[in-house]
Structure 1
Amino acid sequence: MKQRLTREEFLEYIFSENYEALQGDKLRLVRIRIPGSEVSLAHLIGVSDSEVYKNLGLHIGVHLGEDHTGESLGLLQFTPWEGAVVAADIATKVANVEIGFMDRFNGSLILTGERENIKIALQEVLDYFGNTLKFGACELTEN
C-alpha cells in the first residue's frame, strides 16, 4: 500500500533529489490554482446610477443605446468558471432579467432588471448550485 505524502513532504521529495543538480540553472516553480466548486459572490445592487452602468461597460455592445438607469444589478462569481453559463440560463428562465455581462473564462455574471426579478433570479441560482450541484454557495447580500 502506498503512503500518501503531505504537501510539504511531497515538495521536499521532489526538490531534494533534483535541487542540488539544478543549482546554477534556472529553476522554475509553477503554482496552479485548482478551483473549487463554489458561488463566491451573489450580490444585489438596488437602483443604479447611470455612471455605474457606464463604468461596467453595460452601455456598449449589445446594449448600445439602451438606458438601464434605475434598474438593479445582480453580481455573481463562480468557480469553476463555466458555472456562469449555467447560472445565466437559470436566471433568464426563472425571472425577467437580462444578461448585462458574462465572462465564462473568469466566472463572472452581471444581470440587469427590476429589483424583485434580480432577487428571484439570484435566489434560484444559489438554490440550484447549493442544493442540486452541491456547490459551496455564499449567502445573497443586497443593498
Structure 2
Amino acid sequence: MEEMNRPQRIVQELVPGKEITIAHLIASPDEVLYQKLGLDPSVDHSKSAIGVLTISPAETAIIAADVAMKAAGVEIGFVDRFSGTLIVTGTISEAEASLSAVLNYVKEKMNFSVCEITRT
C-alpha cells in the first residue's frame, strides 16, 4: 500500500532536433521593446526591425549569427549558445534578408528543418 502513495517521478530529457522553430520579423517595433530586450539604446531605431530565431541544437545560434551578419547589415542584439536564441536588428529589409539567409543556409548546407518567416 505504501508504494501507491509515493509521488511518481517523471524524467524528462531534451533531444534536440536539427530545426529552426521560430523565425519572426518585428517591423517598426515600439522603442519600449528595444529597452525591454536590453538592446542598444544609443542606436536610432526609427524604420528598424528586430529578427528573432529559435534554433536547435542551441550551439547553431553561433553559426546563424555569423551567416546573418554576412548576409546583410544587421547587428547582433543577442545570441545564446545555450538556449538557441538569436536576435538581430537592422532595417526591415536587412533583418528579413538575414533571416532568409540563415534559413536557407541551415536547410541547404546543414539539412535542418525550418519554419517560414512570420511577421508583425
Asked if TM exceeds 0.5, the reply is yes
One of 45, 52, 64 as aligned partner of 2:26: 45
1:108 aligns with 2:85: yes
**For structure 2, which runs of at least 5 residues remain unmatched after alignment?**
none
Distance across 1 between alignment mates of 2:49 and 2:95: 7
TM-score after normalising by structure 2:
0.87
Unaligned runs of 5+ in 1: 1-22
Higher fraction of strand: 2
The alignment yields a C-alpha RMSD, in angstroms, of: 1.8
Scaled by the length of structure 1, what TM-score is found?
0.74
Aligned equivalent of 2:48, options 43, 48, 71: 71
**Count of aligned pairs between the two proteins:** 117
| Structure 1 pair 64–141 and aligned structure 2 pair: CA distance change class (3 A) | closer
Q: Which has the higher helix share?
A: 1
* 1:45 to 1:26, Cα distance in 2 relative to 1, 3 A: closer
Identity %: 41
Task: Pick the structure with greater CA Rg.
Answer: 1
Aligned AA for 1:56? L
The one-letter code sitting in structure 2 at the alignment partner of 1:131 is E
Could you tell me which residue of structure 2 aligns to residue 8 of structure 1? Answer: none
1:1-143 matches, within 5 Å, as 23=3, 28-58=9-39, 63=40, 65-143=42-120
Letter in 1 for 2:77: G
- Read off the aligned partner of 1:38 and give its amino acid letter: E
- Following the alignment from structure 2 to structure 1, what is the Cα–Cα distance between the partners of residues 77 and 118? 19
